[in-house]
Amino acid sequence: MTSREALAVAVPAAPALAAALVALAPRRLVTAVAVACALPAGVLALALAAVALGRPGSPSVGTWIVVDAAAGLLVGVGGAVALASVLASPAYLATRDGHGARGYFVLLFAFWALLVAVPLAGNLGAAWLLVAATTAPSALLVGLGGRARALEAGWKYLILTSLGLGVALLGIVLLAAGVRGGLGALSWHALGTYSAGSETALVAYLLLLAGLAAKIGWAPVHNWLPDAHSEAPAPVSALLSAALLPSVLLVAWRSQQALGPVVGEETALGVLVLFGLVSLAVAVPFLWRALAWKRLLAYSSLEHMGVIALGLGFASPLALAGVAVHVAGHAIAKALGFYAATPLLALDPRAGGHAASGVGRTEPALGAGMGVSLGTLAGLPPSPLFASEVLIVAGGFQAGRPWAAAAAAVLLALGFLGLMHALLEATVGKPRREGARPAPGLRTTTVLALVSVPLLLALTVAVAWLPGSELVEALARGVS
């Protein structure tokens, strides 16, 4: 086992060990043990990301473990968001008077361990198992509040994503039947040797992507996403949106790269472009509505998973550079937005069912954090998502898909207008007349906002050198 592979094993093992330690810790020390365990687990994930992204041209590719540039990016994102979610969790638990802290942290660390393992899977079968395994802890976390709507959202998430994964499994079975070599033949390298015919391969590929789409949250199989994101605890919503969705999307992209030569590159890429455009088109009308804060962020996730799908489907150097920036920028902004929900709901409980209004007038620090999040997600310059969306649209023209790129530009402009209206209303609109309320999590949200701003600006600056870089070349090569 190489040093990279050993580090890759340690990345999911650390949060798994943390779950065990939290389960055994004395009740009064549960939160302290959780925070103490989260720090080294987060550092390990960021260390692996630094190793993989520092030398993108020298990936470690095995039958069961892959440590390449894409894995490094997603593991870094997942580890950073998971660490921030653990740090933001005491404020959420304070709204529940600390009730259920042990079970909450055990499930959260289990979710973390499975989540960061997904990008490292060197085998389609193993990747499917890991994605399926994330469903149990995340569904329990979605329904943790115990309210009727939370339980309904948890069941909807569990049932719809499980059905989707069942469809994906059927595609995997078809692929396994056409490749020699047992389970090892489902490695990303071996999938390209599929020999049962291009038509059968296309059917298997469509089943696989359609099934994974339910977990990614692509339209039209996104029905669970708005309810689950809006009902889950805020730190869990951050992990679901900022880390889980793009990690599963990476599995879909690896499948496209492996099976493209078998089913035809244009066809394989066209499926991703189609999912991207449909997701954007479905999300935009909701972004124009007055939605509760977390529900608005949920529909923004639908939009941004569509944007990432478009970039991967265009597959040009400009588009892939945009995807790299978009994944990181979306994770930072979306996580910050969900963390802001904890103090927001404490200050204004009605914000759980109605659009936030005038928060910046009554709580300037909270309003600033919400503004940074929503302004970035809208693509307001100089946010990195503005730059990444420009790169992705330009990459569509570079790839010879002018109609898809033009349609994406129009839909992104419409989404921008909708989110900017929500931003203005939430920050400087008419404030609600509420008495003074304690706001757990306000200090944490403020600190995270202060950390997020320079990170987002650094990503914007990175756009200047990413196109044509070794990192983008490594993303284009995949695991080949």
Q: How far is CA 162 from CA 135, 136, 212, 241, 275, in A?
A: 8, 10, 10, 18, 20
The sign one gets for the Cα dihedral 213, 215, 216, 222 is positive
Contact by Cβ (8 Å): 57, 68 = no
pLDDT tens string 368-417: 999 999 999 999 999 999 999 999 999 999 999 999 999 999 999 999 99
Q: What does the pLDDT look like over 252-309, one tens digit per residue?
A: 999 999 999 999 999 999 999 999 999 999 999 999 999 999 999 999 999 999 999 9
For every residue of 365-396, DSSP letters joined together read: HHHHHHHHHHHHHHT-TTSHHHHHHHHHHHHH
Q: Give residues with Cβ within 8 angstroms of 391, minimum separation 6.
A: 311, 318, 319, 321, 322, 325, 463, 467
Alpha carbon 326 to its chain centroid, in Å, reads: 11
pLDDT in tens, 418-432: 999 999 999 988 886
Helix H segments across 264-363? 265-287, 293-314, 317-339, 341-347, 359-362
On whether residue 320 sits in a domain, the answer given is yes
Q: DSSP string covering 94-106, please?
A: HTTTTTTHHHHHH
Residues constituting the chain: 480
Calpha distance 311→320 (Å, rounded): 6
Total domains in the chain come to 1
Lowest mean pLDDT of 9-18, 218-227, 327-336, 393-402, name the range. Answer: 218-227
Q: Is residue 225 part of a domain?
A: no
| Structural domain range at position 304 | 264-480
Does this model's pTM top 0.85? My answer is yes
Q: Which helix (H) or strand (E) holds 14?
A: helix 3-24
Residues 6+ apart with CB under 8 A from 24: none
Count Cα neighbours of 418 within 13 Å in the Cβ-side half-sphere. Answer: 23
- Other residues' Cβ atoms within 10 Å of the Cβ of residue 105: 26
Residue 318 lies in a domain: yes
What are the tens digits of pLDDT across the range 60-97? 888 889 999 999 999 999 999 999 999 999 999 988 77
Cα 448 to Cα 443: distance, rounded to the nearest angstrom? 9
Residues forming a β-bridge with 90: none
Residue 100: inside a domain, yes or no?
Answer: no
Backbone angles phi, psi at 66, to 5 degrees: -125, 125
**Domain presence at residue 296:** yes
Classify residue 235: in a domain, yes or no: no
* HSE value, Cβ hemisphere, 13 Å, CA-based, for 93: 20
Residue 146 lies in a domain: no
End-to-end CA distance of the chain: 20
**Distance between CA atoms of 151 and 146, rounded to whole angstroms?**
6
161 domain residue, yes or no = no
β-bridge mates for residue 61, sequence order:
66
